[in-house]
Amino acid sequence: MDGVHDLGGMHGFGPIPYEKDEPVFHEPWEARLYALRRALTVPMFATVDEHRYALEQMPPARYLGLSYYERWLAVFQEALVANEVLEADEMRASFEAYEANPDAPVPRRTDPELTARVVAAAFRRPSVHHDDGIARFQVGDRVLARNIHPKGHTRLPRYARGKQGQIANINGICNLPDAIVAHREPEPQAVYSVRFEAVELWGDAAEPNASVYIDLWDSYLDPAVIE
């Protein structure tokens, strides 16, 4: 979707909010929320793609107004109800109970087997499918990023659409996220690293001697018309 999450090239966001010696988590709740989501025995999002799309669909002012983990919290709450893991009523009751008594303890439960499993999952190395046989383009080919505007999830950023680039690398085969999120049949495609010259992307506003490499699925690309 052409949402506010698609931030590449946007103006008006001010300086980079750099923080020296930043901790991994700024607040204890961020750490607990992060781990809670990943440790849950019933995952709320079948794929990372669906989690991303849930974030993208937040109201735009809210997406931009909330912090990273506040956005996670918002979509996690919605998913817990949508997936019928929690009922809206019991969630509200629990919120109200802790609002009334913020220092009330959280019940504890230990499950060494689950603990071992979630930690192991953090270190499990996913495999990547390398089969360049289905790649339509070869390194060096000139391509045109298509002018698409799907309302669903996509990973072709707006700033690249309609722009010409050159295949710099064939990364491997991955399922098209657009299809995953739309719950269509898997669409395995070659994913390329495509080099775009900064001047092609930004015109006169481009900085000198710069390029952007964007990882793009095969169906995001057409052969460039003019060599």
Partner 1 sequence: MSEDHDGHHHHPLPEPYPAIRTKALESLLVEKGLVSTDAIDALIKTYEQDVGPLNGARVVARAWTDPAYKQRLLEDGTAAIAELGYGGAQGAQIVALENTPQIHNMVVCTLCSCYPWPVLGLPPSWYKSPAYRARAVSEPRAVLREFGLELDPAVEIRVWDSTAEVRYLVLPEQPAGTVGMSAEELTKLVSRDSMVGV
| Contact positions with its own copies (CB under 8 A) in 149-188 | 149-151, 162-163
Residue corresponding to tokens 């590449």? 8
| 151 contacts 173 by C-beta, under 8 angstroms | no
Interatomic CA distance for residues 199 and 207, integer angstroms: 8
**Span near its own copies by CB under 8 A; candidates 7-15, 19-27, 44-52, 171-179:** 7-15
| 110 contacts 165 by C-beta, under 8 angstroms | no
Residue corresponding to tokens 């390029």? 211
170: three-class secondary structure by DSSP = strand
Judged by beta carbon distances under 5 to 8 A according to partner kind, the member of partner 1, its own copies, none in contact with residue 24 is partner 1
The enclosing H or E element of 142 equals strand 142-145
> Which residue lies nearer to its own copies by CB, 13 or 123?
13
Binding residue (CB under 8 A) for its own copies from 13, 112, 129, 207:
13
> Considering the rule CB under 8 A, would residue 3 count as an interface residue with its own copies?
yes
Judged by beta carbon distances under 5 to 8 A according to partner kind, the member of partner 1, its own copies, none in contact with residue 193 is partner 1
Which tokens belong to 204? 């006169």
> Considering the rule CB under 8 A, would residue 61 count as an interface residue with its own copies?
yes
Judged by beta carbon distances under 5 to 8 A according to partner kind, the member of its own copies, partner 1, none in contact with residue 222 is none
Query: Strand pairing of 188-197 and 142-145?
Result: unpaired
> Using CB under 8 A as the criterion, which residues of the chain lie in contact with its own copies when the complex forms?
1-4, 9-14, 56-61, 64-65, 146-151, 162-163, 202-205
